[in-house]
Amino acid sequence: MHSSKGNADAPSLDPADWPQFRQIAHRLLDNCLDRLQGVADGPVWRPVPESVAAELASPIPRLGLGTEGTARAAERLIAPYPTGNTHPRFFGWVHGSGTAGGMLAEMLAAQLNANVGGREHGAVHVERTVIGWFRDLFGLPEAAGGLLVSGTSMATVVALAAARNRLAGADVRKLGIAAAPRPLVAYASSEAHGSAAKALELLGLGRDALRLVPVDTGFRMRPDALAAMITADRTAGRAPFAVIATAGTVNTGATDPIGEIASISSREGLWLHVDGAFGGLQILAPELAANVSGIEQADSIAFDFHKWLHVPYDAGCVLVRDRQALFDTFASRPVYLSGGEALAGGEPWFCDLGPELSRGFRALKVWWTLTEHGLDRLGQKIADNCALARQLATRIEPESGLELLAPVALNIVCFRALAPGLDPAPLDRLNAHIVTELQLRGIAAPSTTRIAGRLAIRVNITNHRTQPADIDLLVDAVLALAKELRP
């Protein structure tokens, strides 16, 4: 029975027995460390058994299980079935691999339970520090600002909202996008990530507002085609407002010629946004940094800490060249959020730079990771991953049973197994089957994509645990499975 009377002097939600809670907490921490330390000994991935899924789908508990019961349930039902991205042979999509230190930072952040929407407290200073670090690394001016968000998808929404607000030719905050005198359009290469189109959908422009610029043989945006498309859109009465250049495409790791694109967008008065989700961080590796030259001219940059910097999920960042553009787009403070003295100080508040009011302390795990390992070591791991990708390409090239499907520009290798005499469709199915079996058997977890219509085994290495032997093991397994599974 519910009582509407309440019971004001009932105990809080804190443990009734702190010593016992400590024991459970220490045991859980040890188990977490055991899992991390031994991750390479287990399978990369295993399916969630139906019985476990059914148990997880149980109704909301009316009465709690207590700390011990909850910890046991979590370790039995959840911990054994991870994504796999902490394993050295996780090569799917673009996933960072996390760190042991990042786990500690998450625990500390949870203890502090900071709300980083604003006000005056330590967490706000940490986030400002992190923003300043990356503003300087990317060569943006002092006037730049930004904030931490869930990831590059959200960072792109925030950045393009600022671009739309500045260039729509109408007060879109008050009147909405319908008040824009001409339809707004933006440009990205045909290899751009799906989050760009999604952002334009959310901003009320529609996905057709994203014009896909053709790429060259290295899968990079063709600046000549971009210039021609801008001219054609203007002639047709549309209003080009933004160009999205990609540093590190998700399919092949290609980086658009950002400098050339910057010249065009500056000449045309467009907002240059760089999607540098993982590839923007090439800037941290001296031998790769030149690939992203021109990024310092961007009006905004979106990138992730949870990919190539291995900060635990989730943590991304948006940087905007002119911080005022974020204020103009998002600032709005009703009376109950008035700034003031003491705890109500700490201006500017992050809630005025983006769409969210309550915000977690993502900056702590970023600060922690950089402070623990240092920029040089993290940059070296990025360069090492690219060396592993080259190692993989070097193993594939002489194998008559394997074929490279795209140049290896960075950390991504797209290839496939060949089976002489097999038609294109069954060959695609064979390669998809190889990937499925690699995952099901827990050997490795690449993903798939299509390159020029052909199904590719796609190996992305944003993984600080991968060693050369893991690459050899993968190639051997693909070759063996190609023989075994061939129809």
Interface residues toward ligand PLP, by CB under 6 A: 94, 151-153, 193, 195, 246, 248-250, 275, 277-278, 304, 316
Q: Compare residues 81 and 93 and give the one whose CB is closer to ligand PLP.
A: 93
Q: Compare residues 172 and 226 and give the one whose CB is closer to ligand PLP.
A: 226
Residue 294 and residue 280 in contact, taking contact as beta carbons nearer than 8 Å: no
The nearest distance, CB 424 to ligand PLP, in angstroms, is 28
Q: Compare residues 94 and 140 and give the one whose CB is closer to ligand PLP.
A: 94
Q: Compare residues 275 and 352 and give the one whose CB is closer to ligand PLP.
A: 275
The nearest distance, CB 316 to ligand PLP, in angstroms, is 5
b/e sequence 350-383, b meaning 16+ C-beta within 10 Å: bbbbbebeebbbbbbbbbbbbeebeeeebbbbbe
Give dist(CA 147, CA 327) in Å, integer.
Answer: 12
Q: Compare residues 314 and 437 and give the one whose CB is closer to ligand PLP.
A: 314
The alpha carbons of the chain give a radius of gyration, in whole angstroms, of 25
Give dist(CA 465, CA 201) in Å, integer.
Answer: 37
User: What separation, in Å, do the N-terminal and C-terminal C-alpha atoms of the chain show?
Assistant: 63
Q: Compare residues 250 and 353 and give the one whose CB is closer to ligand PLP.
A: 250
The nearest distance, CB 250 to ligand PLP, in angstroms, is 4
Give dist(CA 72, CA 75) in Å, integer.
Answer: 5
Listed residue (373, 318, 455) closest to 100, CA to CA: 373
The nearest distance, CB 280 to ligand PLP, in angstroms, is 9
The nearest distance, CB 63 to ligand PLP, in angstroms, is 38
Whether the bond between 322 and the residue before it is cis, its omega within 30 degrees of 0, is no
The nearest distance, CB 304 to ligand PLP, in angstroms, is 5
Number of helical (H) and strand (E) elements in the chain, helices listed first: 14, 12
Residue 377 and residue 385 in contact, taking contact as beta carbons nearer than 8 Å: no
The nearest distance, CB 379 to ligand PLP, in angstroms, is 19
Q: Compare residues 304 and 470 and give the one whose CB is closer to ligand PLP.
A: 304
Give dist(CA 301, CA 246) in Å, integer.
Answer: 10
Residue closest to ligand PLP, measured at CB: 151
Q: Compare residues 395 and 460 and give the one whose CB is closer to ligand PLP.
A: 460
Give dist(CA 431, CA 481) in Å, integer.
Answer: 9
Kindly list the distances between the CA atom of residue 158 and the CA atoms of 64, 121, 320, in Å, as whole numbers in the listed order. Answer: 39, 25, 9
The nearest distance, CB 372 to ligand PLP, in angstroms, is 22
